[in-house]
Amino acid sequence: MSILKKKIGVIGGGQLGKMMILEAKRLGFYVVILDPAADCPASSISDEQIVAGFDTEEGYAELAKKVDVITYEFEHINAKALENLEKQGHVIYPSVASLKTIQNKYLQKLKLQGEGVLVPLFAKVATVDDIREHGKEGNFGYPMMLKTTTGGYDGKGNALIRNESEVETAFATLGSGKKELMVEAFVDFDMEISVTACRGIDGERVIYPIAENMHRNSILDVSIVPARVSEATIEKATQIAGRVMEVFAGVGTFCVEMFVAKNGDVYVNEVAPRPHNSGHYTIEGCFANQFENHIRGIVGLPFGSTDLISPTVMVNLLGESDGEARLLGVEEAYLDPKVQVHFYGKPESKEFRKMGHFTVVDSTVEGAIDRALKLKEIVKVVGE
């Protein structure tokens, strides 16, 4: 079969799935999505949609019958169903083995640590007393992070514990032990960065420039590329991203989120086995963006260049209020000819929900930052 005749299945019809499809359709691929929401962002451009929940096995089986390769836009999906399909000979990238490990943050950290990748100190906990024990001087100490091992994203499933008086509240917030929990030592960092990397079926590997990330309420707010870090940090982070791709035998696009500690060490925070919000800058900032190279990777095509064309700043458009989504400020934003606004098409705005993003390119990082911060006050998504 010709590579271009392959049919692609995407689990998840959100903005990441939509952007994958936009790149797949440019080469004429037939794309089927699976998502429980009939009006999900990707529904308007997919060739077919299977409306089914992410926990059911029937939808996955139906998807597998229709396509030649399956991928996914987020990791909180039914790995057991995919494992059964993989055993039947269906092709799934990234692999189910890597997905199952990455889905559980404790197992993910254990795997990375075992492969010599620097991660924050971590441990499983089950009770308030367990957490307090790790908070003692000579152990993790305070502050530290309490996390659910599965299901967390955009700050959900995380609780920062600043001192012993906050232990019980954090424990209750994350389910009082009803969910599997872990603690992590808090890294005294100068900066949060991420590296988007791609690996092919044949092991070919390409790595994008490092993004410097700023968060609001634990949700990505702004990404600046190239990151304002030293050459030594660039070398460390790039090597780590490449190593992570080999550890998980990744195929397609992965994102590795990292902390740059004040002492210069670079720690892996989390790994996402898919394109990532912090890689959106690649759409305007690089010749071949993260979604295109993800599609190229999973079907066996050579990768496009990941070189940065020009400094780029990406700003997330987070919902300002609840209600029917309305995008404001596009007319004014487009007075700047080097701005691109992306509205994901989610019908309902919710406070802090990712509704879109915009990018600004410039000849200098400083110029892009200055223009992006001004537009940040103009381009908004509100609910009506």
Report the SS3 class of residue 220. strand
Residue-by-residue pLDDT tens, the chain, 384 positions? 678 789 999 999 999 999 999 999 999 999 999 999 999 999 999 999 999 999 989 999 999 999 999 999 999 999 999 999 999 999 999 999 999 999 999 999 999 999 999 999 999 999 999 999 999 988 999 999 999 999 878 778 899 999 999 999 999 999 988 899 999 999 999 999 999 999 999 999 999 999 999 999 889 999 999 999 999 999 999 999 999 999 999 999 999 999 999 999 999 999 999 999 999 999 999 999 999 999 999 999 999 999 999 999 999 999 999 999 999 999 999 999 999 999 999 999 999 999 999 999 999 999 999 999 999 999 999 998
Structurally, the chain folds into a number of domains equal to 3
Does residue 370 sit in the same domain as residue 260? yes
Q: Looking at the domain assignment, is residue 108 inside a domain?
A: no
Q: The domain spanning residue 135 has which CATH number?
A: 3.30.1490.20
Q: Which domain holds residue 132?
A: 121-185
Where does a domain end: 160, 185, 210? 185
Does residue 168 sit in the same domain as residue 221? no
Where does a domain end: 159, 185, 211? 185
Q: Looking at the domain assignment, is residue 352 inside a domain?
A: yes
Q: Looking at the domain assignment, is residue 299 inside a domain?
A: yes
Does residue 178 sit in the same domain as residue 193? no
- C-alpha 95/C-alpha 251 separation (Å) is 7
Classify residue 221 as exposed, middle or buried by CB count within 10 Å of its CB (0-12, 13-18, 19+).
middle
- C-alpha 208/C-alpha 194 separation (Å) is 10
Does residue 28 sit in the same domain as residue 133? no
